[in-house]
Amino acid sequence: MLHIINQSPLNSSTLDSCLNTATGGEILLIEDAVYAATRGNAAEAKLRAAMGKFKVYVLTPDLDARGLGDRVVEGVSSVDYGGFVDLVSNSKNCQSWL
């Protein structure tokens, strides 16, 4: 399953809800959720710990729009819009966490 998160871990518990509820799959961080994929943020340790059960992706255009392209946590894969489409089309189910 592909879990899509769009809210910042600094302003929302969406990432925590996903990590505490989902049993595995892939996570795609988009919009303000890309902050979770950067080194030195409050959610970094949680995201690193989750990488054992999730493959984590981050949307590159959203990183770049926030000037964070050079701060991605090791192990997180960056994807462009085409990669986003591929993730969705290759997943049997998608869950948007709101």
What is the rounded distance in angstroms from the CA atom of residue 65 to the CA atom of residue 90?
26
- CATH code of the domain in which 10 resides: 3.40.1260.10
pLDDT, tens digit (0-9, with 9 covering 90-100), for 13-50 = 999 999 999 999 999 999 999 999 999 999 999 999 99
Report the pLDDT averaged over residues 50-78.
96
Cα-Cα end-to-end distance for the chain = 16
Domain that holds residue 47: 2-97
Whether 20 contacts 97, CB under 8 Å:
no
Q: In 8-42, which positions are buried (b, 16+ CB within 10 angstroms) versus exposed (e)?
A: bbeebebbeebbeebeebbbbbbebbbbbbbeebe
With 0.85 as the threshold, say if the pTM is over it: yes
Q: What pLDDT sits at residue 43? A: 92
Q: What pLDDT sits at residue 98? A: 87
pLDDT, averaged across the chain: 95
pLDDT, tens digit (0-9, with 9 covering 90-100), for 79-88 = 999 999 999 9
- Domains of the chain: total: 1
